[in-house]
């Protein structure tokens, strides 16, 4: 077990001030833990190139280009599972969660192609912030079995490493992501927002709150404006991301 190594790196990470100090130490840690490859990346949207959001990484030659060209980010089971995960998990375990998914065959093809490039298995650790899922740390290559304690320590490393690298790479984005969310909602708006998240229509919400559907629409327009949302679906997505509803 590598518990001592992981704890020591966490302590060192607090003292290191530059990428030139951090990355060689982190890569030495991964080598000693048995991992060949890694990536620290901001969370991509389906249309975004993950390489442009990469804070640091080391991947098999040619694999990133294949991953981008074949648009694997759209169906990658590890990335899709991240949206539900609160802690680190193993790559190979994600296929079980998508056994009935219509893209299952393509997911399996992606995993096979990854193994052909030396990515036999690995782990991915989500990083959350005020605005929801912010990014992740991925480690992989050879098959490595982490203990529950080691998984917890890697979770802690992922969070600290992500924010430290982001601060050093792009302090403006860092400041934006950690800034306080200032959204002033009235009691009625919060009630309407919660009912909207439960799938209710304006008529349904009006009946519960004993107001007209037109008044509900008025509240919804105000919420949409405050959140700068494009539509009601976007309102709900932003509300969950900002922690206004749960």
- Residue 233's domain is classified under what CATH number? 1.10.10.10
Full domain range(s) for residue 200: 187-241
Question: Is 49 a member of any domain?
Answer: yes
| Span 73-101, average pLDDT | 90
Q: What is the pLDDT of residue 177?
A: 60
pTM for the model stands at: 0.76
Question: Is 196 a member of any domain?
Answer: yes
Question: Is 246 a member of any domain?
Answer: no
Choose one of 178, 200, 217: the last residue of a domain: 178
- 103 and 222 in a common domain: no
Centre a 10 Å sphere on the Cβ of residue 162 and count the other Cβ atoms it contains: 23
For residue 134, name the pLDDT band (cuts at 50, 70, 90). Answer: confident
- 86 and 202 in a common domain: no
- 39 and 10 in a common domain: yes
Query: Using one digit for the tens of pLDDT, what is the confidence trace for 201-244?
Result: 999 999 999 999 999 999 999 998 888 889 998 988 888 777 67
- 168 and 121 in a common domain: yes
Query: Using one digit for the tens of pLDDT, what is the confidence trace for 140-188?
Result: 999 999 999 999 999 999 999 999 999 898 767 666 665 555 678 888 8
Count of structural domains, the chain: 2
Q: Give the start-end residues of each E strand in 160-201.
A: none
- 56 and 37 in a common domain: yes
Q: What is the pLDDT of residue 175?
A: 62
Q: What is the pLDDT of residue 130?
A: 67
CATH for 115: 3.30.450.80
Question: Is 87 a member of any domain?
Answer: yes
> Minimum mean pLDDT among 20-24, 72-76, 237-241: which range?
237-241
What is the rounded distance in angstroms from the CA atom of residue 190 to the CA atom of residue 50? 35
What is the rounded distance in angstroms from the CA atom of residue 170 to the CA atom of residue 29? 25
- 105 and 69 in a common domain: yes
- 136 and 30 in a common domain: yes
Q: What is the pLDDT of residue 33?
A: 96
- 232 and 147 in a common domain: no
- 194 and 172 in a common domain: no
Choose one of 132, 157, 178: the last residue of a domain: 178
Buried b (16+ CB within 10 A) or exposed e, 198-211: eebebeebbeeeeb
């Amino acid at each position: 077990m590598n518990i001592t190594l992981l704890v020591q790196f966490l302590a060192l990470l607090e003292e290191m001030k530059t990428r030139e100090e951090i990355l060689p130490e982190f890569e030495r840690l991964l080598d000693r833990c048995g991992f060949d490859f890694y990536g620290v990346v901001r969370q991509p949207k389906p249309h975004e190139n993950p390489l442009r959001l990469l804070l640091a990484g080391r991947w098999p030659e040619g694999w990133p280009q294949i991953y981008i060209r074949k648009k694997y980010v759209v169906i990658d089971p590890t990335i899709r599972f991240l949206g539900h995960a609160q802690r680190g998990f193993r790559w190979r375990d994600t296929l079980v969660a998508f056994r009935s998914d219509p893209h299952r065959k393509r997911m399996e093809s992606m995993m096979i192609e990854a193994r052909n490039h030396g990515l036999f298995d690995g782990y991915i650790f989500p990083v959350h912030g005020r605005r929801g899922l912010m990014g992740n740390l991925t480690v992989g290559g050879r098959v490595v079995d982490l203990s529950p304690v080691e998984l917890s320590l890697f979770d802690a490393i992922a969070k600290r490493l992500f924010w430290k690298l982001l601060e050093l790479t792009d302090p403006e984005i860092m400041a934006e992501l950690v800034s306080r969310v200032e959204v002033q909602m009235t009691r009625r708006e919060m009630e309407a927002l919660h009912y909207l998240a439960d799938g209710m229509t304006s008529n349904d919400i009006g009946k519960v709150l004993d107001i007209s559907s037109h008044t509900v629409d008025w509240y919804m327009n105000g919420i949409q404006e405050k959140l700068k949302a494009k539509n009601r679906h976007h309102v709900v997505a932003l509300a969950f991301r900002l922690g206004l509803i749960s």
